[in-house]
A and B are shown apart, each in its own frame.
Chain A
């Protein structure tokens, strides 16, 4: 059973703080993704990684960075948190391959920036 875990379910941070969100998957998946989920907007891709130390920008990368030093771990960094980054953050992973588009999701981190 694929398991994707995220470091926190709820997080409250102050404007300007540096925030780290961590994600770990246990299925040796090559691909990992960070999304933010906002009501009425669905899931929007922030960054993804297709291998260790490899990363690509998604649709809304501004204000975020990522790190993937180990295959199983993918971190999302908010360099200087702002109130408009209050959101639900979802991590996902998937195996590489032509038919393996299925993504497996973590429980999410609800981040509030005050």
Chain B
């Protein structure tokens, strides 16, 4: 069965620190990968996505993620976090079988202190 693992459930950083959130997946088909973010009190929204091509993907608000096929990983990075990055982050991959279903990781809660 397909799965998505996010290694860190809670991360606490100070402003200007660098961020890397881990995501590993098991998937046998074409790889499409997503990171979603949920800011406090807001709806879940797409941060970035990978479909093909350059394995380094840039998203909104200075986030980027690198697809490393050999490691089945799609880690999220940001060189310098801000207090406004406090949120919960979810990695997701499509489920085989159609209908655009996604399977989500357990999420990582990021708290950035000023």
Contact = CB atoms under 8 A, between A and B. Distances in A.
Q: For chain B, which range describes its interface: under 10, 10 to 19, 20 to 34, or 35 or more residues? A: 20 to 34
B105 A103 contact: no
A101 B85 CA distance: 25
Contact of A56 (B44, B45, B99, B100): B99
Interface string A15-51: 0000000000000000101010000111111001010
Contact of B105 (A42, A97, A108): A42
Interface in A62-114: 90, 92, 94-97, 99-103, 105-108
A36 B99 CA distance: 19
Contacts of B32: 99, 101
Contact of A40 (B42, B43, B106): B106
A19 to B, nearest CB: 21
Interface string B35-53: 0100000111110010100
B9 A100 contact: no
Nearest to A43: B104
Nearest to B103: A45
B107 A31 contact: no
A35 B43 CA distance: 13
A95 B99 CA distance: 9
Contacts of A33: 101
A41 B106 contact: yes
Contacts of A40: 9, 106-107
B102 A103 contact: yes
